[in-house]
Amino acid sequence: MSENNNAPIRVALLGAGTVGSQTARLLVEQQEELANRIGRPMELVGIAVLDPSAVSDPWIDTSLLTTDASELVTRADIVIELIGGIEPARSFLMKAIESGASVVTANKALLAKHGPELYSAASEHGVDIYFEAAVGGAIPIVRPLRESLVGDKVLNVMGIVNGTTNYILDEMTTKGLDFDEALRDAQKKGFAEADPTADIEGLDAAAKAAIIALLAFHTDVRMDDVPVEGITKITADDIAAASAENKVIKLLAVVDQSDAGISARVYPALMSLEHPLASVHGSFNAVFVKSEAADDLMFYGRGAGGAPTASAVVGDVVTEARHIAQGSVGPVIPIYASLPKAPLDASKAAFAVRFLIHDKPGVLAAIAEAFSKHSISINGVNQDIKPTLHDPGYSGEIQQLRLVTHLCDEVTLRKVVDEVSKLDAVTGDASILRVLD
């Protein structure tokens, strides 16, 4: 850390991709304004990239480009990590911390896997680690959990934290596209990566859920603690059924605390059009926080994109630069509560289950018997013929059978669905969606 109170605060940037490039632009174009806010100038001392020849942004001084990130982090007061992934990002940040630099990162995958070690190292070396951009893009959700609500008790957090999946589901709902069409459209418009696996399988949202749970409940929660369901099994039929009931399907990250412990989950769910999250369209994100004293809070905004995410990154940089200018450090991240992880069957929910069945007598009775055997009560039934669907070896028509249950636990529900799926008159894959009030 710089000891000269008048010397520029040295900033190193790792990565000059979409977010890195926009971060560099904000640091360069707002240099004078940021210095006034900090009370001391900042200087971008280096930008580490794999291929300097590929960087052509006019606001980036090419003389700052280097391929030696390991050396760069040792000569900075603040290191911004925007390269993503686990390694070498983790090693670079640990070296920066051990060299006395504070760090700012948007790397949710890294924090969901190694966050506690990084937080501990930062505390041990008297530096800070900030990561507002790791959850929700431009939405300020990390700081409220980390600082604003530190005097309160967070009860649960629920939200849309992945812009790609929200865009896809929104396009399926508003334009009648099937999943593959909506995904291709998202990729064409830059809302989805060439390899969209982390988004559509829910892994990106799960990493954010782990971070949120750790901050909310002060307990070590990692990515492996988060059960995940993505949106790849959501069909146009699911969307149509939801629309017919004045509902929409959203991919949610949900963390809460109960007598059974804490849980962090990611899953697609059916919700009424009256729910505030139902009106979150496109690539926007929204997060609800419920706490004991403050009650309900909602955060809404751009969940992705170079400039919005860079805004959150630079906000963290300015916060840390102020600490350095004042000779102080920010609050540590306390992980003191060893709360148990709640088992899957600890909570109950209503579920909408869709089966494809042969159109013949006795099928519905057999399915109802399977649910009854496991004490799962059925709240509603809907059937319609799908003339475009066929099952090899069966010449009759295929029906879509949709059941909505009363409250039940997920473990038992999935056991019943597996049993029903093995019936001779049931074909294809079943669809399971939670129903939110």
pLDDT tens across 330-375, in order? 999 999 999 999 998 888 999 999 999 998 899 999 999 999 999 9
Q: Is 3 inside a domain boundary?
A: no
Q: Do 295 and 155 lie in a common domain?
A: yes
Please indicate if the annotation marks 154 as binding a ligand.
Answer: no
CA distance 153 to 170: 33
Q: What is the CATH number of the domain that holds 109?
A: 3.40.50.720
Please indicate if the annotation marks 397 as binding a ligand.
Answer: no
Please indicate if the annotation marks 14 as binding a ligand.
Answer: yes
Q: Do 117 and 169 lie in a common domain?
A: no
Beta-carbon contacts of 139 under 8 Å, excluding residues fewer than 6 positions away, are: 285, 286, 287, 299, 300, 301, 302, 303, 312
0.85 cut: is pTM over it?
A: yes
Q: Do 71 and 180 lie in a common domain?
A: no
Q: Give the H/E segment covering residue 323.
A: helix 306-326
Q: What is the CATH number of the domain that holds 391?
A: 3.30.70.260
Domain that holds residue 424: 344-435
Q: Is 1 inside a domain boundary?
A: no
Q: Do 292 and 149 lie in a common domain?
A: yes
Please indicate if the annotation marks 250 as binding a ligand.
Answer: no
Please identify, among 293, 326, 359, the residue that sits at the C-terminal boundary of a domain. 326
Q: Do 117 and 89 lie in a common domain?
A: yes
Number of structural domains (the chain) is 3
Q: Do 170 and 234 lie in a common domain?
A: yes
Q: Do 234 and 291 lie in a common domain?
A: yes
Q: Is 382 inside a domain boundary?
A: yes
Q: Is 211 inside a domain boundary?
A: yes
**pLDDT-derived band at 4, boundaries 50, 70, 90:** low
Q: Do 120 and 32 lie in a common domain?
A: yes
| Residue 95 annotated in active site | no
Please indicate if the annotation marks 84 as binding a ligand.
Answer: no
Q: Do 149 and 56 lie in a common domain?
A: no
CA distance 304 to 136: 7
| Cis upstream peptide for 387 (omega within 30°) | no
Please indicate if the annotation marks 18 as binding a ligand.
Answer: yes
How many alpha carbons lie under 13 Å from residue 48 in its C-beta half-sphere?
A: 23
- Which has the minimum average pLDDT: 33-47, 84-98, 335-349, 386-400? 386-400
| pLDDT value for 1 | 47
pLDDT tens across 224-244, in order? 999 999 999 999 989 998 999
Q: Do 291 and 147 lie in a common domain?
A: yes
Given the residues 95, 113, 208, 250, the one annotated as active site: 208
Q: Do 358 and 311 lie in a common domain?
A: no
